[in-house]
Chains A and B, each alone.
Chain A
Amino acid sequence: MSGAAIALAGAVHRYGKTVALDGVDLEVPAGCMAGLIGPDGVGKSTLLSLAAGVTRIQEGTVHVLGGDMAQRSWRRQAGGRIAYMPQGLGRNLYPTLSIAENLDFFGRLFGQGGAERRERIEELLAATGLAAFADRPAGKLSGGMKQKLGICAALIHDPDLVILDEPTTGIDPLSRRQFWELMARLRARRPSMSVIVATAYMEEAERFDWLAAMSGGRVLATGSPADILKQTGEPDLERAFVALLPQDERGDAEPLPDLPRVDHGGEPAIEATGLTRRFGDFVAVDHVNFRIEKGEIFGFLGSNGSGKSTTMKMLTGLLPASEGEAKLFGAPLAGGDMATRKRVGYMSQAFSLYAELTVRQNLVLHARLFELPDVEGRVAEMMERFDLAGVADVRPESLPLGIRQRLQLAVAVIHKPEILILDEPTSGVDPVARDGFWRTLIELSRKDGVTIFLSTHFMNEAERCDRISLMHAGKVLAIGTPEELQRQRGMDSLEEVFIAMLEEAGMGREEGAAEFKERPSAPAHVRRFDLGRLWAYARREALEIVRDPARLAFALGGPLLLLFTFGYGISFDVENLPYAAFDQDRSAQSRQLLESFEGSRYFETHAPISSTDELDRRLRSGELKLAIEIPPDFGRDLTRDRQPEVGVWLDGSMPFRAETTRGYVQGIAQSYLADEELRATGKQTPLSPVTIEPRFRYNQAFKSVNAMVPNVIMLMLVLIPAIMTALGVVKEKETGSITNFQSTPVTRIEFLLGKQLPYAVIAFLSFVTLVIFARFVFDVPVKGSLFALSVGSLAYVLATTGFGLLISSFVSSQVAAIFATAIISIVPAVNFSGLLVPVSSLSGGARLMGLAFPSSWYQQVSVGAFTKALGFAELWTDIVVIILIGLVYIGLAMLALRKQGR
């Protein structure tokens, strides 16, 4: 124990107005197992995240491993020697990647070579007993296994300091025991390694070498557990801690009331017979039977992933049972039974209230949904009872876990349900708060006769239950009162009973208990830029994409489908215009005039019009786009050279179409007039003294499809790549795996480019398929340089994926990312990039927006190479601009991305 692993001086940290750390001075000794204890929301997590370098220091100093964490260069160096495991089960793991792939990713982040990585992964998996599951996706692991994987990931680089934030929260006792055995072995291998753990389990804390007790953002006491016991004169840590607290925070000192259960008789409140649930081949719940009497507190214990949550979900009607029956109040459960739902309160394992609503708004919403008569009163009562008044107008996302759990319970009981189904309600809640929680439960059960069905990993809670059941691998192993179970086994504690039963059931046998080899720790110098780390992220991202083939199919198939529809669909060729004639003359001459319209492929004749009213009405309804009005006496006036007037009415509601129609009408009129002249005079007089010879370049036939294909490629290669990458960063922010970026030596540019690379590759593949499709389906070949087009496209997809990353780095939620990307990219890509209107005739803000977006430049490249037969010589300037825009996007994304949280 030499020196301090972590040293804080005058550390103050605030989240808005909430003070998390209130001037902390603390030196955590190195080379030992140090613990941080204290109730929820006292600043334990903040302190650890400051030490890990993932949160920016606001005030005071933080020194870790002898260096100042305020300095970026030290953070980078220290990042290679620190391991940080954030709170929450497997929050920094990637659920679709397998165990081995997750570890491989972490190994690469620390710059380990292939051989070294394999060796370390093998060793860690053997030591933790995970070797048999190396190929299982992390998302499908039980909580205990996730934690083991988390610790493997943390230890892959032989860190000098391991920071664990509540690593055993929500884990069953057997897994917890295994976890600490594992930690002990690891420590034995490298005694110099410092470990600091935040925990809510006091019995765990008793085994640590050194403790710091915290409350209200301050450190109350430090020292070995024995020291702390001596200081307070209490027999155990739990009470010692309470004694350290200021008077008003101690909660009720008196022990929990031990009221006998009242027998309410009648039908059992909950009854399950042969209840079974399968997910594919996997049997999550296997013929489970139990009866829970009215007013009983029934505890559900079991290993992680044993089917407890699934059983509870079936009882709430969230999941239909595959087999068997569940009865509530003696009646079988029906999906849409509203009356039953009002009698049941449910609290799910994960926080499932609205994070964007305040505490009060959440309570009011639920009170209203249950149609409570006195909403205000009941909400006030709940806030009082669950001690939420102080945080009434705070959003739950910024509250510590314990307080959020209290809010969830308040919501679950707000409508005074007769049955409460609580899935690990006290997971992550500190002892004082748990006592308060249980006081409420006992009161509800004994006074109000509420039946409570809850799952827990805390044995002292299990002892408070009327009856408990033990579950493992989908089966109920035992049911009975806690005393009965202990007696049957002849053991003193429920924990021993539990562990023994699980071990008999086969759990924990995977424990290979392979020993670690001694390895000299050689903290390599951490490089400023490392392709390996970039590659680690690129590989990880690529693996994730491969695991979701539907997404890959959309990414490649979507553009093809759109090219197909737009190639045919977006057409500026105006044809088949519905028109009708209002012929008031009905002479040979008028019919002659109308015939010239009938013969045209541009027009489609509809039934003639018989009145001015009708003309107006039919144009108004949109049936006609064009109406021709021939005045009475047209024929007579014509023969008498009186220049009769023919009226042509266009539907101006779509100006482009009207404009084109006008051109057609003029053309037809011209040729009609020439014919007329010929008939009258017998000689061919030119209507004009000049001939104008229009040449439609690049697209002789002036067909839309030829012009459309290169434009659609432009459109597809911005919208799809942008939306694909838009979730890249923000998803990690939402799930919490962003801490891997924050706590390891990976730099912003490595992170961003690594994320971008796989999507750029997919986008480029999409480009290749689009070109092939254009050539063989639409018969639109690349007339110019294919090479120049490819280079331009590569630059373009790098820019457009960069755009997605930029958005992703800015926003904080996935919804906002999708929303922002769609809106910000569609407007310029569709309107200001030459698809509809040539860039050269854009004006004002539209022109600026167009030029600042890579699409307008790429449109030149795409159209140039496809239709204008251009090559590098003509296109290189556009390509350079696209590259520059791409670099600006990545640069801005780097600025928006914070290596440290607030």
Chain B
Amino acid sequence: MRARLARIFRLGIKELYSLRADPVLAALIVYTFTVAVYTVSQGAKFEVENAAVAVVDEDQTALSRRLSDALLGPFFKEPVEIKATEIDAAMDAGRFVFVVQIPPRFEHDLIAGRNPTIQLDIDATAMSQAGNGAAYIQNIIQQEVQAAAPGTVAQAPVQVVIRAKFNPNLTSAWFTAVMQVINNVTMLAVILSGAALIREREHGTIEHLLVMPVTPIEIMLAKIWSNGLVIVVAATLSLVIVVERLLGVPVQGSIPLFVASMLVYQFSVTALGILLATVSSSMAQFGLIVMPVMIVMNLLSGSTTPMESMPVWLQNIMQFSPSTHFVALSQAVLYRGAGIDTIWPNLLALAGIGAAFLTLAALRFRKALQAAG
């Protein structure tokens, strides 16, 4: 047993040397965990921020201008005034997500209690912003109208106070930054381990290993620990330096617990990478298989859109993806400060899925070797 562990260790060290010998790979790993995480969380925000708005002011009174001025940053870009006839073309070109149309005689009608109507055009193809932005604009307009014309509304009998736990201002960068790290972990782990195996097969080095006192499972485990280690270290650094420091995301929970869970996750995704490598007969096939698998794992894991909004059959299928469990677990640990007592079912699932992948890969290992060469 000790000899076996020693062999796995040696082979893993070899793997690290290989990684070091390829500066392109190293540069790409650094890029994914720094630049990619930073730009995505800073530049592509889910909350309504800097949404492009246009105002069609056919009233041109103090009130209508007040409404227009109230659409402020950081939610909205400075509203652009356009003519009613320009609405279609501007929205077709995707220049604005929202167009507020204030009718003629708006202020007049309001004071007269005639309940004038403001039309709000929303580009519904901008799914992530359309709904929430529309709600904002409606709120802003209501507030401004109430402030400008007090007494037109009755006092509400109940006060509904909505507070968000774990992220009181609902800053999306907190979310995207960490989810980006997770997505990158998935991507790197699957490609690195799988491609490394195919390369060994194409170069005949696997064959060489197999005549030595080394078993396929040892080869696979070596790839898992070494590639996993590199990625876990990179991801942890990224989390502490880029996410916590640079992006100022307060991490609620225990980072050690998160890192420990990431190790388990690594195991299951690198095992998946190896499994995919054993089912593809060439690097070209591997690329074509790995791309869709990764995209599905990233986009449907709950790291991008809410898990609950997926159809139930798809939610069930996604339970087989390690990323689903890891995303759930990370959200619990990092945002909600959950402990091991909360996340153990996810950990168990990750370990189980990883073991299943590894078993399948081991079963296919020699067959794939013979088929490929």
Q: Which of A350-393 contact B (CB under 8 A)?
A: 350-357, 361, 365-366, 368-371
Q: Contact between B163 and A395 (Cβ–Cβ < 8 Å)?
A: no
B319 interface hit (Cβ, 8 Å): no
Q: Which of A361, A654, A821, A832 has the most CB of B within 10 A?
A: A654
Stretch of B32-40, B229-237, B254-262, B263-271 on the interface side: B32-40
Residues of A within 8 Å of B124, CB to CB, are 696-700, 702, 706-707
The 0/1 profile, CB within 8 Å of B marked 1, for residues 555-599 of chain A is: 100110110011011111111111000000000000001000000
Give chain B nearest CB distance to A25 CB in angstroms: 37
A697 CA / B134 CA spacing, docked (Å): 12
Give chain A nearest CB distance to B55 CB in angstroms: 13
Q: Contact between A660 and B132 (Cβ–Cβ < 8 Å)?
A: yes
Q: Contact between A653 and B167 (Cβ–Cβ < 8 Å)?
A: yes
The 0/1 profile, CB within 8 Å of A marked 1, for residues 336-369 of chain B is: 1110001000000000000000000000000000
Q: Contact between A645 and B161 (Cβ–Cβ < 8 Å)?
A: yes
Q: Contact between A622 and B336 (Cβ–Cβ < 8 Å)?
A: yes
Known: A569-B300, A655-B171. A845 touches B122 (CB 8 A): no
* Contact among A361, A697, A846 with B44 in the assembled complex (CB-CB below 8 Å): A846
Q: Contact between A641 and B18 (Cβ–Cβ < 8 Å)?
A: no
Q: Contact between A620 and B342 (Cβ–Cβ < 8 Å)?
A: yes
Known: A319-B370, A551-B284, A620-B338. A652 touches B170 (CB 8 A): yes
Q: Contact between B295 and A864 (Cβ–Cβ < 8 Å)?
A: no
A840 interface hit (Cβ, 8 Å): yes
Known: A562-B296, A566-B299, A658-B170. A838 touches B94 (CB 8 A): yes
A720 CA / B292 CA spacing, docked (Å): 8
Q: Which of A804-853 contact B (CB under 8 A)?
A: 811-816, 818-824, 826-827, 830-832, 834, 836-847, 849-850
Q: Which of B1-21 contact A (CB under 8 A)?
A: 3, 6-7, 10-11, 13-14, 17-18, 21
A787 interface hit (Cβ, 8 Å): no
A704 CA / B167 CA spacing, docked (Å): 26
Nearest opposing residue in chain A for B332, CB measure: A622
Q: Contact between A696 and B138 (Cβ–Cβ < 8 Å)?
A: no
* Contact among B141, B168, B336 with A692 in the assembled complex (CB-CB below 8 Å): B141
Q: Contact between A641 and B157 (Cβ–Cβ < 8 Å)?
A: yes
Residues of B within 8 Å of A688, CB to CB, are 142, 145-146, 153
B70 interface hit (Cβ, 8 Å): no
A642 CA / B43 CA spacing, docked (Å): 45
Stretch of A99-107, A191-199, A722-730 on the interface side: A722-730
Give chain A nearest CB distance to B372 CB in angstroms: 12
Residues of A within 8 Å of B214, CB to CB, are 369
Residues of B within 8 Å of A704, CB to CB, are 127, 309
Residues of B within 8 Å of A355, CB to CB, are 203
B174 interface hit (Cβ, 8 Å): yes
* Contact among B42, B191, B296 with A846 in the assembled complex (CB-CB below 8 Å): B42
Known: A697-B121, A720-B291, A874-B92. A571 touches B213 (CB 8 A): no
A689 interface hit (Cβ, 8 Å): yes
A165 CA / B116 CA spacing, docked (Å): 88
A554 interface hit (Cβ, 8 Å): yes
Give chain B nearest CB distance to A845 CB in angstroms: 4
A203 interface hit (Cβ, 8 Å): no
Stretch of A120-128, A663-671, A884-892 on the interface side: A663-671
Q: Contact between B287 and A652 (Cβ–Cβ < 8 Å)?
A: no
Give chain A nearest CB distance to B92 CB in angstroms: 5
A695 interface hit (Cβ, 8 Å): yes
Q: Contact between A646 and B121 (Cβ–Cβ < 8 Å)?
A: no
Q: Contact between A694 and B138 (Cβ–Cβ < 8 Å)?
A: yes
Q: Contact between A811 and B24 (Cβ–Cβ < 8 Å)?
A: yes
* Contact among A677, A715, A726, A826 with B154 in the assembled complex (CB-CB below 8 Å): A677
B238 interface hit (Cβ, 8 Å): no
Q: How many residues of B contact A (CB 8 A)?
A: 150
Give chain A nearest CB distance to B193 CB in angstroms: 11
A1 interface hit (Cβ, 8 Å): no
Give chain A nearest CB distance to B23 CB in angstroms: 9
Nearest opposing residue in chain A for B209, CB measure: A369
Q: Contact between A318 and B95 (Cβ–Cβ < 8 Å)?
A: no
* Contact among A687, A697, A707 with B91 in the assembled complex (CB-CB below 8 Å): A697
Q: Which of B6, B22, B123, B290 has the most CB of A within 10 A?
A: B123
Q: Contact between A844 and B39 (Cβ–Cβ < 8 Å)?
A: yes
Give chain A nearest CB distance to B65 CB in angstroms: 16
A513 interface hit (Cβ, 8 Å): no
* Contact among A669, A702, A840 with B94 in the assembled complex (CB-CB below 8 Å): A840
Q: Contact between A846 and B40 (Cβ–Cβ < 8 Å)?
A: yes
Give chain A nearest CB distance to B339 CB in angstroms: 9
Q: Contact between A554 and B170 (Cβ–Cβ < 8 Å)?
A: no
Q: Which of B245-302 contact A (CB under 8 A)?
A: 281-292, 294-296, 298-300, 302
Q: Contact between A689 and B152 (Cβ–Cβ < 8 Å)?
A: yes
Q: Which of B46, B50, B174, B291 has the most CB of A within 10 A?
A: B291
A40 CA / B97 CA spacing, docked (Å): 69
Q: Contact between A370 and B213 (Cβ–Cβ < 8 Å)?
A: yes
Sample 22 A-B pairs with CB under 8 A, ordered by A number: A346-B208, A354-B17, A371-B213, A558-B289, A568-B310, A570-B300, A574-B308, A619-B165, A621-B336, A655-B172, A656-B132, A656-B172, A658-B164, A696-B122, A702-B131, A708-B127, A715-B295, A724-B284, A840-B96, A846-B43, A846-B44, A874-B89
Known: A692-B118, A723-B288, A724-B284. 10 other contacts (CB 8 A): A338-B213, A652-B335, A653-B167, A659-B132, A662-B164, A662-B170, A693-B117, A813-B199, A821-B287, A868-B92
**Top 10 closest A-B pairs, CB basis?**
A846-B43, A652-B167, A652-B164, A653-B335, A699-B124, A352-B204, A663-B135, A696-B124, A356-B21, A838-B126
